[in-house]
Chains A and B, each alone.
Chain A
Amino acid sequence: MMKLLGYFFEIIRGSWITCRHFVVNMWFHTLKVLGIRTKRRGAVTIQYPEEKKEIAPRHRSLHRLMTREDGRPRCVVCMLCMTVCPSECIYIEAAEDSDPEIQKYPKKFIIDLSRCCFCGFCVEACPEDAIRMDTGKIDLATYSRENLIYDLNRLVG
């Protein structure tokens, strides 16, 4: 019998908690509707497409290729990123550069984002700091798979 009363007490306590949340949040919602600004908000929701949360500096987002002063990509086609990539989503084709200091430049540099797992190994492997993942662009969804294949133009741009 005492156990039963204990359950009953807990049932009432449970509804007290939800009721308190309801009343407190409703109070702050009402204040907001009336135009009174308070420090506390009625909900923790961020209305995503309109409001965006600030992305942390170390967040790994869409890749970009860095360029030299003359606008050509910094990449020297050492193939380290292509080798380290666990999803095998990077494809590079080399071409000979006229500058003997550089030797090679990428004729094609393709990242297939439909396979990329955003591990960031390519960024860590790169000896020339040619590839970075700091564009802050995270809404990459598109309607076709072809749109997810990023070539040199889109990566540099």
Chain B
Amino acid sequence: MGIDWLIVLIKIIFGLVWFLTLTLYLTWVERKESAVIQDRIGANRAEILGLRVLGLFQPFADAIKMIFKEDFVPSFANRFLHTLAPFLSFFFVAVTISAIPFGDKIQIAGREISLQILNANVTLLFVLAMLSLAIYGIVLGGWASRNRYTLLGGMRGAAQLISYEVALGLSLVGVIMVFPSLNLQDIVYEQGELLFGWLPKWGIFLQPLAFLIFLFAALAETKRVPFDLPEGESEIIGFFTEYSGLKWGMFMMTDFMEIIIVSCLLTTLFFGGWQVPWLGPDGFHFPWGWDWFLPRWLVVLLQVGAFNLKVFFFCWFQVLVRWTYPRFRYDQVMDFGWKLLIPLSLINIMATGIIMSVLQ
């Protein structure tokens, strides 16, 4: 019993370290990538003992700055809720990492350890529920500041996230129909099989429309630039106007963590999770008849590496999207969500059901 708890604890520590390190360096990636897109160089001045290394110390400089900045609470704000809001927002996104499968089961000293912190039957629902709860942080932050603009930002955030939650959930119904499970690990196992004997049975090939809907809805969920209505830098400054220092930093971290979670979900649901094409538990089995047997540890390493690579790609892609598109107007966002994405996702469910019943 005790050793089981220890294993869970170690998995939680590893998961959080992975998550927070990636979050920290995603801020660096965002600054550098936006710079390269715009023919600039980007942050490269932070140095330790004369070492600059492409500005890799920049996140630490930013963190030190945010920790030592004054933590200002306006006199008219509700002090308790104002402090609670960023923690809520941060917590609900941070726990979602427990549902993401990082790799296959591994054997250590006769014990089978799944590389997923929470191995339950409802992990997909768990992630969706926690991501929906994250809007409480926004609404609470906007409301507790007692500022008209933060309240506007909070209300916009609530409206936007609730309407895109519908499209997000509906687009995943098709995926759940194809891979009949709500456990992300089982969905990844299902995607290890082959279609027609050569094509990996990834979600993108079975549910291309659901992928597009999920992509747009998930981009809206991260509330970054094409959909950054809760923030709206140029018009209402957003729900965190009255925040400073580390509390503001937590809101910002939450944004970046949401990017990573969305990347993880895109990878897990549509791009085979930790599956490498044609890589079985004992090595590669290519469709043209070659076999290449690999030791077990190398297979697991390749799979975890593949998962990381796919997640990095989608993080990169979301930063690219953020630095390409201008913001939607509020009514355009609502139109896009309710009049296009939700009907399309309903059509997708219908079509999936019809095709599946015809094929049976």
Contacts and interface: CB of A to CB of B under 8 A. Distances in A.
Interface string B331-354: 000000000100000000000000
Contact of B40 (A15, A19, A44): A44
Nearest to A14: B324
A14 B226 CA distance: 13
Contact of B37 (A4, A11, A22, A45): A22
B41 A43 contact: yes
A22 B320 contact: yes
Nearest to A16: B324
B78 to A, nearest CB: 41
B324 A18 contact: yes
Interface in B297-343: 320-321, 323-325, 340
Given A11-B325, A14-B324, A44-B40, 5 more contacts: A15-B325, A18-B323, A22-B37, A43-B40, A43-B41
Contacts of A15: 320-321, 324-325
A74 interface: no
B340 to A, nearest CB: 8
A156 B35 CA distance: 44
Given A11-B325, A14-B325, A21 B320 contact: no
A43 B39 contact: yes
Contact of B39 (A14, A19, A21): A21
Interface of B: 33, 35-41, 320-321, 323-325, 340
A86 B334 CA distance: 55
B321 A29 contact: no
Nearest to B36: A25
Contacts of A44: 39-40
B35 A21 contact: no
Interface residues of A, number: 17
B40 A22 contact: no
A21 B325 contact: no
B31 to A, nearest CB: 13
B85 to A, nearest CB: 33
A42 interface: yes
A18 B41 contact: no
A14 B322 CA distance: 12
A26 interface: yes
Interface of A: 4, 11, 14-15, 17-19, 21-22, 25-26, 29, 42-45, 47
21 contacts: A4-B340, A11-B325, A14-B325, A15-B321, A18-B37, A18-B324, A19-B320, A21-B36, A21-B37, A22-B36, A22-B37, A22-B320, A25-B36, A42-B36, A42-B39, A42-B41, A43-B35, A43-B39, A44-B40, A45-B41, A47-B41
Nearest to A33: B54
A42 B41 CA distance: 8
B131 to A, nearest CB: 24
Contacts of B33: 22
B40 A45 contact: yes
A11 B226 CA distance: 11
Nearest to A43: B41
A47 B36 CA distance: 15
Contacts of B320: 15, 18-19, 22
Given A43-B41, A45-B41, A29 B36 contact: yes
A26 B36 contact: yes
Contacts of B321: 15
Contacts of A43: 35-36, 39-41
Nearest to B33: A22
A44 B37 CA distance: 12
A26 B29 CA distance: 13
A43 B40 CA distance: 5
B174 to A, nearest CB: 20
B38 A21 contact: yes
B124 to A, nearest CB: 28
Nearest to B316: A22
Interface-central residue, A14, A17, A19, A25, by most chain B CB under 10 Å: A25
A48 to B, nearest CB: 11
Contacts of B41: 42-43, 45, 47
A17 B323 CA distance: 11
Contacts of A26: 36
Contacts of A25: 36-37, 39
A45 B321 CA distance: 23
A92 to B, nearest CB: 43
A11 B36 CA distance: 20
Contacts of B325: 11, 14-15
Nearest to A11: B325
Contacts of A21: 36-39
